[in-house]
Chain A
């Protein structure tokens, strides 16, 4: 049973870099699938941030591309998100998720982690 768990600081200062990690259990990242980050500001809808293929190929939301880096660490079975130059608008619940091509959908999600941008 595949499970995902986000981790990282819950508070980030404006202009700094937000860093989150998603730890995958029950499946080896290096074996396949896309892995993605999605966020949800308080009271608002879902926004795709970016995805990474198990091989390391990355795909980013054009609106965030200049500030986003997603990477994978197969030795730790983790993938990570870095979002630079954050502002209050980046305050959100951040989810990691597994994208299965058989469904062409995100079929497994982490529980989400709240990140607040504030001084």
Chain B
């Protein structure tokens, strides 16, 4: 089973700042099979990025994803008030799905 480790656990930033979130895999993950989700309190997760770097429908272009192999990154270029939330990476492989433990982006 592939384990995803996200860092940092919490990111304290101000609106307008840049956020860089990391997702590391215990073994190589196909870039096509790496996704990112945003979750706000009391809500279901929302798909942000699929295929490591493609934005899902309706996702603003301030969100971008990159990476390959065992290291992937989600970048929010300029934080808007609505971006403060928890972010999860997720991988799929061999008919098995795993999630990272999440990174909370909080207002500084």
Where the two chains meet, the residues of A that have a C-beta atom closer than 8 Å to any C-beta of B are 36, 38, 45-48, 51, 59, 61-62, 95, 99, 103-107, 109-112
Is B97's CB under 8 angstroms from A36's CB?
yes
Q: Of B37, B51, B96, which is within 8 A of A104 by CB? A: B51
Given A45-B88, A62-B1, residue A107 in contact with residue B97 (CB < 8 A): no
Min CB distance, B59 to chain A, in Å?
Answer: 11
Q: How far is the CA of A62 from the CA of B1 in the complex (A)?
A: 9
Interface range, B side: 20 to 34
B81-103 to A contact mask, C-beta < 8 Å, 1/0: 00000001010100111111110
Given A103-B56, A104-B33, A104-B92, residue A111 in contact with residue B101 (CB < 8 A): no
CB-defined contacts of A62 to chain B, threshold 8 Å: 1, 96
CB-defined contacts of A38 to chain B, threshold 8 Å: 99
Q: Secondary structure at chain A's binding surface: helix, strand, loop or mixed?
A: strand
Given A103-B50, A104-B32, A105-B35, residue A46 in contact with residue B45 (CB < 8 A): yes
Is A105's CB under 8 angstroms from B50's CB?
yes
CB-defined contacts of A110 to chain B, threshold 8 Å: 44
Q: Of B1, B56, B88, B102, which is within 8 A of A107 by CB? A: B56
Given A45-B100, A95-B44, residue A105 in contact with residue B90 (CB < 8 A): yes
Q: How far is the CA of A51 from the CA of B93 in the complex (A)?
A: 13
CB-defined contacts of A112 to chain B, threshold 8 Å: 44
Min CB distance, B68 to chain A, in Å?
Answer: 15
Min CB distance, B57 to chain A, in Å?
Answer: 8
Closest residue of B by beta carbon distance from A101: B92
Given A105-B47, A107-B56, A109-B44, residue A46 in contact with residue B99 (CB < 8 A): yes
B28-60 to A contact mask, C-beta < 8 Å, 1/0: 000011010101000111110011001010000
CB-defined contacts of A103 to chain B, threshold 8 Å: 35, 47, 50-51, 54, 56
